[in-house]
């Protein structure tokens, strides 16, 4: 009997962890579905306000690029998928990418698959089992979303149970198809880091294609090249179109199958792509630990900078159209005024999009904390701190390089936004956009500072603490949109304190307070770090 168990060990391991992740995110997705419904009822209670909403958002290229194409926004049935999918498609895709690479390539990198494959499991069998385990995670993710969507649909008498189940399937379509992409990348790449880079590039391209297809009428066919476009085309709730849904399922299956075939043919621990075994030694970056930080962060930083430049440039390019729609709609103006937007037009549109970039930078800061922790947990830090390097100097350099990355990324986002918007003759100046870029860095610095303090005491929880701060901020935003939250509670959200520049003057006071909190937490971290044991490998 033990032998039967050993032959399915990969399936059980992957399934257990994938379902845990799937269930957690499924609940988050379900909450956002509820938030979309409740928020619509509260914000647009009258036929007139709904008509304004339709006029301002439907057929607006700027909004479509940012949030996807809205349909039937005058009813709750049209609003719920439009509003929820705007955030859940990219979020779900990221969850799918990271989960699949974590449960496959990271396990292989850590050497655990060697134990599994030394038993009764073959390479092919292990890959099939891992794919089934990941599929189980997607199925479990679907359950809370489907149940919640059905209850919401029934409660508001908005759509049928069948439509709800289809809508839930569309929502988990992004994690399914990008999980498959990541699964394939994990077979092609020679490390999890490389697999994540490939997956992120694929997602970036898919997102960009969807944006362009929504903004340029002559290029609307491009949506059929992007999986995100296919999911849009499923028209959940408003149209229930099965063929694009089948395309999503078929793509996930085909990509996963390709991954399985490659996995069965390649060596364990190696990638299918040829990897250079030797390389010319680089001259720069090996003078000390700070130089090493630059070398190690370089590829990630370049990827972030390119992605932010492209996305911000496109947002700048479509900002005039997006801004005009906002200007012409009272309800849209009400909506963004709650976010602190004062100026209208392209400035308003860019202000809102840069807020999203700010939130993304904060996520990047949390990811940096994970990388700091990994350096210690995997034993590499031992080699540095067993030499004449003070722990505080090491940590300060690490945070310094991370901070510089965040600032450069934000400035590039602002500058690229200006490049895009300058083609539209809006009058927005480079200085304004650069200032706007700098103004979105403080939340990320606060996350980094607080994370460093947690790292100094409880290193395992540093990255989780960073992500928790961001998740909390989003939760407060969601709940705050539908209920009257106490302002003390509202103030705990980082997003509340970012002014949507250039649509409003940057709130330098709030920015200074956030940077100050980050600095104090960082100083506490520096003080405490040398007082604990180094974890080591």
Partner 1 sequence: MAAPVKTEKLTKVFGKTEALVDLDLEMNQGEVLGYLGPNGAGKTTTIRLLLGILRATSGLARIFGVDAQAEPAKAHERIAYVPGEASLWPGLTGEETLRLLGNIQGNVDVAYREVLIERFNFDPSRKVRTYSRGNRQKLILIAGMMSRADLLLLDEPTAGLDPLMAQAFRVCVDEARGRGQTVFFSSHALSEVEALCDRVAILRGGRLIELGNLHEMRHLSALTIDADLDRIPDQLATLVGVRGLVASDHHVHFHAEGPVEPVLRLLAQAGTEHLLVREPTLEELFLAHYGQAVEEGQNGQ
- Binding test (CB under 8 A) with partner 1, winner from 383, 429, 458, 460: 383
283 contacts 391 by C-beta, under 8 angstroms = no
Cβ-based neighbour number of residue 505 at 10 Å: 15
Taking the least distance from each CB to partner 1, the nearer of 266 and 289 is 289
Q: In terms of Cα–Cα distance, which of 191, 220, 227 is closest to 206?
A: 227
Q: Kindly state the number of chain residues that form the binding site for partner 1, as judged by CB under 8 A.
A: 37
**Residue 123 sits in the site that holds partner 1 (CB under 8 A):** no
Tallying the residues shown for the chain, one arrives at: 537
Q: Give long-range contacts, CB 8 A cutoff, 24+ apart: 225-229.
A: 227/173, 227/174, 227/177, 227/178, 227/251, 228/89, 228/90, 228/93, 228/174
Q: Between residue 65 and residue 104, which ones bind partner 1 under the rule CB under 8 A?
A: none
Does position 292 interact with partner 1 (CB under 8 A)? The reply is yes
Residue 82 vs 455, nearer CB to partner 1: 455
Residue 45 or 379: the one with the smaller Cβ distance to partner 1 is 379
Among 279, 425, 484, 486, binds partner 1 (CB under 8 A): 279
Considering beta carbons, is residue 188 or 476 the nearer one to partner 1? Answer: 188
Pick 367 or 430: Cβ nearer partner 1:
367
Minimum distance of partner 1 from residue 459's CB (angstroms) = 13
With contact defined as beta carbons under 8 Å apart, do 282 and 176 qualify?
no
**Candidates 379-387, 404-412, 486-494, 520-528; binding stretch for partner 1 (CB under 8 A):** 379-387
Taking the CA atoms of residue 506, residue 64, residue 75 and residue 34 in that order, the dihedral angle to the nearest 10 degrees is -60
Task: Report CA Rg, the chain.
Answer: 24
Q: Check residue 277 for interaction with partner 1 (CB under 8 A).
A: yes
For the segment 176-215, give every residue that binds partner 1 (CB under 8 A). 190-191
Nearest to 526 by CA among 393, 355, 428, 334: 393
Dist CA 53 CA 57 (whole Å): 6
Contact residue for partner 1 among 281, 425, 487, 488 (CB under 8 A): 281
Looking at 74, 204, 239, 391, which residue binds partner 1 (CB under 8 A)?
391
Q: Which stretch binds partner 1 (CB under 8 A): 74-82, 173-181, 381-389, 508-516?
A: 381-389
C-alpha 66/C-alpha 11 separation (Å) is 38
274 binds partner 1 (CB under 8 A): no
Q: Which is nearer to partner 1, 209 or 381 (CB)?
A: 381
The residue whose two tokens read 């209670």 is 45
- Interaction of residue 536 with partner 1, rule CB under 8 A: yes
Residue that is written with structure tokens 């302002």 in the block: 487
Whichever of 72 and 382 has its CB closer to partner 1, that residue is 382
Of 60 and 300, nearer to partner 1 (C-beta) is 300
Is residue 288 close enough to count as binding partner 1 by CB under 8 A? Answer: yes
According to the binding rule CB under 8 A, does residue 265 interact with partner 1? no
In angstroms, the CA 510 to CA 77 distance is 38
By the 10 Å C-beta count (0-12 exposed, 13-18 middle, 19+ buried), 349 is classed as buried
Residues 6+ apart with CB under 8 A from 9: 116, 119, 121
**Other CB atoms within 10 Å distance of the CB of residue 254:** 12
| Piece in contact with partner 1 (CB under 8 A), picked from 227-235, 259-267, 384-392, 407-415 | 384-392
Q: Rounded to the nearest 10 degrees, how much is the dihedral formed by the CA atoms of 371, 377, 383, 384?
A: 50
Q: Which stretch binds partner 1 (CB under 8 A): 146-154, 354-362, 376-384, 495-503?
A: 376-384
- Measured between alpha carbons, how far is 431 from 414 in angstroms, rounded to an integer? 9
Among 2, 267, 276, 486, binds partner 1 (CB under 8 A): 276
Residue 386 touching partner 1 (CB under 8 A): yes
Between the CA of residue 343 and those of 352, 502, 505, what are the distances in Å?
11, 8, 9
Q: Is 20 in the site for partner 1 (CB under 8 A)?
A: no
CB of 275 to partner 1, least distance (A): 8
Q: Is 267 in the site for partner 1 (CB under 8 A)?
A: no
- In the shown chain, the binding pattern of residues 294 to 313 toward partner 1, with x for contact by CB under 8 A and - for none, equals -xx-----------------
Residue 3 interacts with partner 1 (CB under 8 A)? no
Residues in contact with 63: Cβ distance below 8 Å, sequence separation at least 6, in sequence order: 56, 57, 70, 322, 325
Residue written as token pair 């394939």: 184
Per CB under 8 A, does 282 bind partner 1? yes
Q: Using CB under 8 A, which of the segments 48-56, 357-365, 374-382, 494-502 binds partner 1? A: 374-382
> Applying CB under 8 A, which part among 83-91, 273-281, 398-406, 479-487 lies near partner 1?
273-281
Q: Which of 16, 112, 338, 532 binds partner 1 (CB under 8 A)?
A: 532
- Please give the Cα distance from 333 to 347 (Å, whole number): 13
Contact status: 533 vs partner 1 (CB under 8 A): yes
Stretch that binds partner 1, among 229-237, 284-292, 308-316, 520-528 (CB under 8 A): 284-292
- CB contact at 8 A, 503 and 348: yes
Please tell me the distance from the alpha carbon of residue 305 to that of residue 172, in angstroms, as a whole number. 28
Nearer to partner 1, 298 or 490 (CB): 298
| Positions that interact with partner 1 (CB under 8 A) | 190-191, 275-279, 281-282, 286-289, 291-292, 295-296, 378-380, 382-391, 530-534, 536-537
């Amino acid at each position: 009997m033990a032998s039967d168990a050993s032959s399915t060990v990969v399936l059980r391991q992957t399934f257990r962890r994938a379902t845990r992740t799937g269930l957690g995110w499924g609940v988050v997705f379900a909450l956002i579905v509820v938030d979309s419904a409740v928020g619509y009822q509260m914000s647009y209670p009258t036929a007139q306000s709904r008509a304004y909403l339709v006029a301002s958002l439907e057929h607006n290229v700027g909004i479509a690029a940012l949030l996807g194409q809205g349909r039937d926004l005058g009813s709750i049935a049209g609003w719920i998928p439009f509003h929820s999918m705007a955030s859940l498609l990219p979020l779900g895709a990221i969850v799918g990418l990271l989960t699949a690479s974590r449960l496959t390539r990271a396990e292989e990198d850590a050497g655990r698959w060697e134990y599994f494959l030394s038993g009764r499991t073959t390479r092919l069998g292990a890959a099939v089992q891992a794919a089934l385990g990941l599929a189980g995670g997607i199925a479990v993710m679907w359950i809370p979303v489907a149940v919640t969507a059905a209850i919401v649909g029934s409660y508001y008498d908005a759509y049928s149970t069948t439509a709800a189940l289809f809508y839930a399937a569309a929502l988990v379509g992004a994690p399914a198809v990008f999980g498959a992409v990541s699964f394939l990348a994990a077979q092609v790449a020679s490390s999890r880091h490389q697999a994540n880079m490939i997956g992120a590039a694929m997602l970036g391209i898919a997102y960009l294609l969807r944006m362009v297809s929504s903004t340029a009428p002559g290029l609307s066919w491009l949506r059929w090249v992007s999986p995100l476009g296919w999911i849009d085309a499923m028209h959940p709730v408003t149209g229930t179109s099965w063929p694009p849904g089948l395309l999503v399922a078929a793509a996930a299956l085909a990509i996963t199958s390709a991954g399985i075939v490659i996995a069965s043919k390649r060596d364990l621990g190696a990638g299918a792509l040829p990897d250079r075994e030797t390389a010319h030694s680089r001259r720069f970056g090996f003078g000390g630990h700070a130089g090493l930080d630059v070398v190690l962060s370089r590829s990630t930083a370049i990827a972030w900078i390119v992605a932010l430049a492209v996305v911000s440039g496109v947002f700048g390019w479509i900002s005039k159209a997006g801004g005009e729609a906002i200007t012409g709609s009272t309800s849209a103006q009400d909506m963004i005024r709650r976010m602190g937007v004062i100026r209208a037009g392209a400035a308003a549109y860019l202000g809102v999009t840069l807020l999203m970039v700010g939130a993304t930078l904060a996520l990047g800061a949390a990811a940096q904390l994970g990388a700091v922790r990994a350096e210690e947990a995997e034993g590499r830090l031992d080699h540095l701190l067993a030499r004449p390097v003070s722990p505080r100097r090491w940590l300060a350099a690490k945070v310094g390089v991370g901070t510089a990355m965040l600032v450069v990324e934000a400035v590039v986002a602002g500058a690229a936004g200006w490049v895009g918007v300058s083609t539209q003759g809006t009058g927005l100046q480079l200085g304004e956009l650069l200032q706007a870029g700098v103004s979105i860095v403080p939340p990320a610095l606060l996350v980094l500072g607080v994370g460093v303090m947690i790292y100094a005491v409880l290193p395992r929880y540093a990255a989780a603490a960073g992500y928790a701060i961001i998740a909390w901020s989003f939760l407060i935003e969601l709940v705050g949109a539908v209920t009257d939250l106490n302002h003390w509670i509202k103030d705990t959200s980082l997003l509340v304190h970012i002014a949507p520049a250039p649509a409003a003057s940057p709130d330098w006071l709030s920015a200074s307070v956030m940077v100050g909190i980050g600095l104090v937490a960082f100083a506490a971290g520096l003080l405490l770090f040398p007082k604990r044991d180094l974890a080591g490998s």
